[in-house]
Chain A
């Protein structure tokens, strides 16, 4: 190998290394912009579902006609699709929008009970807190209603087209009577073609 070839190969390797270590370009985008990367469940789907469901629940006669904000807890939202979907993120987003409206009050859900119990134990059983200021045990507020739901999907595809149909269903149930006080659903269709 001549010196000419050696220098040429070294230059190529140098330039290649420079290209490989170049920092990625980061920029902020619109969080509410439509995301169409693929047909998987995405942020736009979650935003649509949360907004539609919370608006529908706030317009229900139960919430509109209530003199005092009803106490609600979030139960499980089941994922019946074949994909991994963080359903707790969906329920938290719905809860945030409902809480911001001020017409619904939420109590801790089952998934948050461990923290609640630990805090009560710390205040009541550690002996570190005065009786006057400690939060007493046995005074938690029970919710009158619970929110529960599910998300399902139907997927169909061929060589050129992939069609995904999502349906999200949410219900508000009276804990005492078991009556279904409100229910709504949101349908999303996503199609990808080559």
Chain B
């Protein structure tokens, strides 16, 4: 019986060992073939291939980080006018500091020896030393600073670019409204630093930036005698000159450059003591009108043609020749329905499109 049990245990032991070896499947490699793999080492071909795969995987991430410019897009920046004004400053300071320290000290002479039990002659009074120090310190400082300091500030002029944007849109460009420039302190990017602003994303990946710089803005009120009459002409004249630069945001090359001017005037004919109150709305309307006319002319001449290889602009709407739009109601009428093979203009089904 005991023999039978021993044979049974031996058989089952061998069976368990064989099953464990079968689960592993392959024999363990010899110790010489095992290599310790470190992150920055490429000792084996297998590691090289892993690295290459990592690079291949990282490539799309790089392209995602890179700003892809929107083809045929122009960011029309608002105008900024530089405003310099001089400020007179005067600073006068007088500081006076007076300090008086006195010190008096009386000490018995430590070297004198009092003779006790001696004669009267021997009884000398003990020697004393007195010191007195007086320190007087006076500081007077006077400073006077005066002069003029120039303060440079930029004012934003809005409302002059509407027609320019409209013209660019009609020409097929995708017009992008840049982020407004708000100055956030001395360390902020300068308004004219287009590269810095582009890197910051102010232009939203536009291919071009149309930057307008106000060269001159003038406002004059004059009174002139009219020859041959007894009247005077009172005039209020406003004028503006803006330099435009179309800048490629990829290479920062100036693709185009031109100058646009506008002029607005209101006048009054009266005698020498007349009171003239200019109509500012009329002046602004005239100025915008002349400015836009000049701008449209220059844009037609100077703005480069669309790059058709770069793709069609998203906002280029292919208008159906047969569709009729009503600007006042924002309704767009579709093609006229055909009745019996003929177009029936009377039966139009308006498709209301509300522009946001």
A-B complex is real:
yes
Q: Is the CB of A117 within 8 A of B226?
A: yes
The secondary-structure label for the interface of chain A is: helix
* Distance between Cα atoms of A109 and B227 in the complex (Å): 10
Q: Shortest distance in angstroms between B221's beta carbon and chain A's nearest beta carbon?
A: 15
Q: Which of A107-142 contact B (CB under 8 A)?
A: 109-114, 117, 120-121, 124-125, 137-138
* Distance between Cα atoms of A114 and B229 in the complex (Å): 5
Q: Is the CB of B228 within 8 A of A110?
A: yes
Partner of A114, one of B228, B267, B268, B270: B228
Partner of B229, one of A113, A137, A138: A113
Which chain B residue has the least Cβ–Cβ distance from A116? B229
* Distance between Cα atoms of A43 and B267 in the complex (Å): 45
Q: Shortest distance in angstroms between A1's beta carbon and chain B's nearest beta carbon?
A: 69
Q: Which of B44-81 contact A (CB under 8 A)?
A: none
Q: Is the CB of A120 within 8 A of B269?
A: yes
Which chain A residue has the least Cβ–Cβ distance from B269? A121
Which chain A residue has the least Cβ–Cβ distance from B274? A125
Partner of A138, one of B226, B228, B231, B267: B267
* Distance between Cα atoms of A124 and B282 in the complex (Å): 13
On chain A, the residues within 8 Å of B228 by CB distance are 109-114
Interface residues contributed by chain B, number (CB under 8 Å): 11
B265 on the A face (CB < 8 A) = yes
Q: Which of A128-178 contact B (CB under 8 A)?
A: 137-138
Q: Shortest distance in angstroms between A129's beta carbon and chain B's nearest beta carbon?
A: 14
Q: Shortest distance in angstroms between A81's beta carbon and chain B's nearest beta carbon?
A: 24
On chain A, the residues within 8 Å of B269 by CB distance are 117, 120-121, 124-125, 137
On chain B, the residues within 8 Å of A113 by CB distance are 226-229
Q: Is the CB of B227 within 8 A of A110?
A: yes
On chain B, the residues within 8 Å of A137 by CB distance are 267, 269
Q: Is the CB of B268 within 8 A of A125?
A: yes
* Distance between Cα atoms of A111 and B226 in the complex (Å): 11
B230 on the A face (CB < 8 A) = yes
Which chain A residue has the least Cβ–Cβ distance from B230? A114
Q: Shortest distance in angstroms between A61's beta carbon and chain B's nearest beta carbon?
A: 31
Q: Is the CB of A138 within 8 A of B265?
A: yes
Q: Shortest distance in angstroms between B60's beta carbon and chain A's nearest beta carbon?
A: 63
Partner of B231, one of A109, A110, A112, A117: A117
On chain A, the residues within 8 Å of B230 by CB distance are 114
* Distance between Cα atoms of A113 and B269 in the complex (Å): 12
Q: Shortest distance in angstroms between A107's beta carbon and chain B's nearest beta carbon?
A: 13
On chain A, the residues within 8 Å of B265 by CB distance are 138
On chain A, the residues within 8 Å of B267 by CB distance are 137-138
Kindly supply a per-residue 1/0 record for chain B positions 256-275, scoring 1 wherever the CB is within 8 Å of any chain A CB and 0 otherwise: 00000000010111100000
* Distance between Cα atoms of A75 and B314 in the complex (Å): 63
Kindly supply a per-residue 1/0 record for chain A positions 85-117, scoring 1 wherever the CB is within 8 Å of any chain B CB and 0 otherwise: 000000000000000000000000111111001
On chain B, the residues within 8 Å of A124 by CB distance are 269
Q: Shortest distance in angstroms between B276's beta carbon and chain A's nearest beta carbon?
A: 11
* Distance between Cα atoms of A137 and B66 in the complex (Å): 58
Q: Shortest distance in angstroms between B152's beta carbon and chain A's nearest beta carbon?
A: 36
Kindly supply a per-residue 1/0 record for chain B positions 227-242, scoring 1 wherever the CB is within 8 Å of any chain A CB and 0 otherwise: 1111100000000000
Which chain A residue has the least Cβ–Cβ distance from B286? A138
Q: Shortest distance in angstroms between A68's beta carbon and chain B's nearest beta carbon?
A: 23
* Distance between Cα atoms of A120 and B265 in the complex (Å): 16
29 A-B pairs, CB-CB below 8 angstroms? A109-B228, A110-B227, A110-B228, A111-B228, A112-B228, A113-B226, A113-B227, A113-B228, A113-B229, A114-B228, A114-B229, A114-B230, A114-B231, A117-B226, A117-B229, A117-B231, A117-B269, A120-B269, A121-B231, A121-B269, A121-B270, A124-B269, A125-B268, A125-B269, A125-B270, A137-B267, A137-B269, A138-B265, A138-B267
The 6 closest A-B pairs by CB, nearest first: A110-B228, A113-B228, A114-B229, A121-B269, A117-B229, A113-B229
